[in-house]
Amino acid sequence: MGNYSWLTLSEMIHQGNLDGIEARRLVKKFGELLSPRNFGDIVKYPAPVADLLTSFISLHRQGRSIEDLKNLLIMTRRKIRGDYQARRSNLLAELQQESATLRKDLESVINSGSRMQEALRSIAHLMTRFDSLLVNMLDQQKERSALRVEGSLKTFQSESADQ
């Protein structure tokens, strides 16, 4: 059973304001159909069984036989199992679809990451070339400055010599 809380028969009787004698008789008749579990020496039932017992006591008072109630319980359990299987199948299909979507999204992210890495490599290459060009420009500017200074110095020397 799922994540139910578990109740003793006394707790179910108290929770559902049930007739203790009738509840005990029904529990004794239905036995294992109510999914009891042993917790040490204490037998407990899933909490929804309290509501089920309330319904069964009401139906029994309306003239339904124990056999009718037993058949109703068996049919209800089959329906619950069928519904559970259908929900489980639907959830599985949804999970598979979601997984496929996530896989596609992940592939897209990976592809985008690869393209970004390639773009970053290209940018790094361009920056290296830019740095190289900048160094060349600075070297050329230094040479021109040196030539200007040298030219100015020669002009100055030549003017000084002429005077």
pLDDT in tens, 65-77: 888 888 888 888 7
Structure tokens given for 31: 């036995």
Give phi and psi for 16, each to the nearest 5: -95, 5
At residue 3, the pLDDT reads 58
Q: Is the pLDDT of residue 158 over 80?
A: no
What distance in Å separates the CA atoms of residue 119 and residue 132, rounded to the nearest whole number?
Answer: 20
At residue 1, the pLDDT reads 44
With tokens 């009891």, the residue in question is: 36
DSSP state of 3: S
pTM of the model: 0.45
Give the pairing type, strands 6-7 and 37-39. unpaired
106-128: per-residue pLDDT in tens?
A: 999 999 999 999 999 999 999 99
**Closest by Cα among 94, 7, 104, 14 to 49:** 7
Task: For the chain, list the domains and their CATH numbers.
Answer: 1-64 (1.10.1660.10)
Mention every residue, 6+ apart, whose C-beta is less than 8 A from residue 8: 42, 43, 44, 45
Mean pLDDT of the chain: 86
